[in-house]
A and B are shown apart, each in its own frame.
Chain A
Amino acid sequence: MKHVLIPTDFSIRSLRVVHGVVERFGGEPLNLVLMHAIEMPTSIMDLMMLSRRTSHHDLITADYKDACEIIKNKYASVIQSMKTEFLIGNGKGVFRNFLLYHNIDIIACAAKEEFRKAGPNSFNPAELIRKSKYPVQQIPLTPRKEKYLVSAMSELFEA
């Protein structure tokens, strides 16, 4: 049983890392945690309402949800659980706690990073991941020729 953390920007493309993860660690059951990092709000009001705020949940698109389900169905015997979590705050301690809480063994990132700011508060967790001293797996993604249909579901497919 391995717990793998995969950073995501809620694009379908970011989910393709899962293919590589399953390919590499598919021998044992996997628990995947898809992490999206957002900054800690700076206004006192936002901080007080942080636990009740759901605005960052709106970043999760219906396509992304569907794509998650598709992947989970595809690798039903390997992927035990697959959940999307928010990392709130840009700090080493916060990230370490997040990793401990989710019991992460390995972090898997796309070899060639293509980060897209999903929301106004999103940030790229690459720096945190580099500093965390956790084992990081670089997953190469096959380059795709088409540049159009950015968020469309077909990103998920290999062909």
Chain B
Amino acid sequence: MTIRNKILGLFTGLTVSIIVMMVAFAYFLINRQSFDDFYKRLEIRAYIAARARLTTDEGNSAAYAEIRNEHLERLPHEKEYFIRLDTIGKPPRYPDLSPLRSGFYDKIKAFGKATYRYKDTFFQGVLFENEAGRYIVIVSASNVYGKEFMTELRRTLLICLILAAVVIVTAGLFFSRYILQPVRQITARVKNIRAHNLHLRLDTPDSDDEMSELSLTFNNMLDRLETAFETQNNFVSNASHELGTPLTTIIGEAELALNKKRSDEQYQQSLSVILREAERLEHITKSLLNLAQTGFTDKKQRLEKIRTDELIFTVKETIDRINPENQVEIDYSMLPEEEDKLLILGDPQLLQLALSNIVQNACKYSDNRPATIALAATDNDNVIIIKDNGIGIPAQDLPFIYDPFFRASNTSGYKGYGIGLPLARNIVRLHGGNIIVNSWEDQGTEIRITLPTYKRPV
């Protein structure tokens, strides 16, 4: 069952049942009203009949009979019964009054009047007293007009009900169609979006209803998908380019060396070029492997307790070995007094790799100008801030710095592959940490790494 049919069914059911209830209530009220009215008429007739028949004064009696004959139309099946109440109180029996129970008479004696209905015959009894004695006067008649009226009413209401139901179903059809129109539009539009036209977006109407929210959500998802696709594409093209360049150099150098006989020095020179390029190739593939490995977060990790100050010290030693001219200083001014606050849980090799990548960048892109590694601890995190006075990252490049092989537009004078920072971020994320890059072009870069502090189990 489609949503549309559900809406239609629900809408129709609800509205029709409300109308049916209203109609039934109206019918019931009118029915009762017409009964009351008819009993009133019978009661007046009973009193007049009693006066006409039972009054001892001849003149009065004739006057009542005259009024009755002239002004009161005979009701269909109108009958009168006069019952004289004996001292014993036993009423004589009329065959037509058989439906009446003794409760009816008791009620008349107690309250002066009573009503009763048997099928279509209505009975109204009143108590009449004069000097001749006590009488019960009963008038019975069938309410033909009322019956006709009620039948007419019933028919009208039924026709109205059917008409209303038809109108409601039609309205419901349009209503459900109208409500679900945007959904059908979205479905049709989304069906058209394939891998080759990921740039397509849904129209978002200028309102803040649920439907435009749905479109917006779809659009956001498409944005992310498109970005992921583009990153993937960029990665492949960049990777093939980066891997291709050293290979071209190696092939060119080898061809050059082989195309005629060379001196020993020339061979040596060619071989050393080939070796250098091969090493570069190895470095790139190794970094790629690292990046790929750290990308899988569900990999089992070998975690141990590490002190961040020692970690930074090791990183500083590594940098000193690779790049003896660096001016990296370690800023211990904010170290916490408690050593426990410097404990983190992690893989020392990976963390060293990440930090030395970042610190190497700091040296490289600032031409060995002074840089600092600062360490501090908040209550929950270790904070490592690496700051340099280098070329910085242009603001328009900042969103892409974590894409593998992406290099900022001002880095053309520096060697690099664009793998270090994504790798560092993967590693930091593996450890449940966070990395924030603040940078001003031509002024410097500040990278803040937070790693959660190891908490001793209590």
Binding partners A and B: yes
Is B333 a contact of A158 with CB atoms below 8 Å? yes
| Contact residues in B for A71 (Cβ distance below 8 Å) | 334
- The CA-CA distance from A5 to B336 in the complex, in Å, is 23
Known: A148-B443, A149-B440. A159 touches B376 (CB 8 A): no
B45 in the interface (beta carbon within 8 A): no
A39 at the interface (CB under 8 A from B): no
A74 touches B335 (CB 8 A): yes
B336's contact among A74, A152, A157, by CB below 8 Å, is which? A74
Q: Cα distance A35–B337 when bound, in Å? A: 25
Given A74-B337, A148-B443, residue A157 in contact with residue B379 (CB < 8 A): no
B385–A75 contact, CB under 8 A?
Answer: no
Interface string of A49-68 (1 = CB under 8 A from B): 00000000000000001100
The reply to whether B440 and A159 form a contact with Cβ atoms under 8 Å apart is: no
A73 within 8 A of B: yes
A159 to B381 CA separation, bound complex (whole angstroms): 21
* Cβ contact within 8 Å between A159 and B385: no
Tell yes or no: B383 within 8 A of A by CB: yes
Chain B residues with Cβ below 8 Å from A74 are 334-337, 376
Give a binary string over B370-403; 1 marks a CB under 8 Å from any A CB, 0 the rest.
0010101111010101010000000000000000
**Does B331 make an interface contact (CB < 8 A)?**
yes
Please name all residues of chain B whose beta carbon is closer than 8 Å to the beta carbon of A157 when the two chains form the complex. 331, 333-334, 372, 374, 376, 385
Give CA–CA (A157, B383) in the complex, Å: 12
Q: Are A76 and B333 in contact (CB under 8 A)?
A: no
Question: Once bound together, how far apart are the Cα atoms of A156 and B334, in whole Å?
Answer: 8
A149-B446, A157-B372 known; A73 and B336 CB under 8 Å?
A: yes
Asked if A94 lies at the interface with its beta carbon under 8 angstroms from chain B, I say no
Residues of chain A within 8 A of B425, CB atoms compared: none
Return chain B residues, CB-CB under 8 Å to A159: 329, 331, 333, 372, 374
Q: What separation, in Å, do the CA atoms of A95 and B82 have in the docked complex?
A: 103
Least Cβ–Cβ distance between B415 and chain A, in angstroms? 27
Min CB gap B63→A, angstroms = 83
Shortest CB–CB separation between residue A34 and chain B, in angstroms? 16
Complex interface: chain A residues within 8 A of B329 (CB): 159
**Complex: chain A residue closest to B338, CB-CB:** A76
How many residues on the A side are at the interface (Cβ–Cβ under 8 A)?
A: 20
Q: Could you tell me if A73 and B337 are in contact, using CB atoms closer than 8 angstroms? A: yes
Chain A residues lying within 8 Å of B338, measured Cβ to Cβ, are: 73, 76
Contacts A148-B444, A159-B372 hold; do A76 and B337 have CB atoms under 8 A apart? yes
Q: How far is the CB of A4 from chain B (nearest CB, A)?
A: 19
Asked whether, in the complex, the Cβ of B334 is within 8 Å of the Cβ of A70, the reply is yes
Return chain A residues, CB-CB under 8 Å to B443: 146, 148
- Does B341 lie within 8 Å of A153, measured CB to CB? no
Tell whether B448 is near chain A: CB-to-CB under 8 Å: yes
Q: Are A73's CB and B372's CB within 8 A? A: no
Chain A: which residue is nearest B333 at the CB level?
A158
> What's the nearest-Cβ distance from chain B to residue A146, in Å?
8
Contacts of A65 in B (CB 8 A): 378
CB-based contact A73/B377 at 8 Å: yes
Partner of A75, one of B331, B337, B383, B440: B337
- Distance to closest chain B CB from A141 (angstroms): 14
Interface assignment of A77: CB less than 8 Å from any CB of chain B? yes
Give the A-binding residues of B (Cβ under 8 A): 329, 331, 333-338, 341, 372, 374, 376-379, 381, 383, 385, 387, 438, 440, 443-444, 446, 448
Q: List 22 A-B contacts (CB under 8 A).
A: A66-B378, A66-B381, A69-B378, A73-B337, A73-B338, A76-B336, A146-B444, A148-B440, A148-B443, A149-B438, A149-B440, A152-B438, A152-B446, A153-B383, A153-B385, A154-B374, A156-B334, A157-B374, A158-B331, A159-B329, A159-B333, A159-B372
> With A76-B337, A148-B440, A157-B334 given, can you name 9 additional A-B contacts, CB distance below 8 Å?
A69-B378, A73-B338, A73-B377, A73-B379, A74-B335, A74-B337, A149-B438, A152-B446, A153-B448
A binding-site residues for B, Cβ under 8 Å:
65-66, 69-71, 73-77, 146, 148-149, 152-154, 156-159
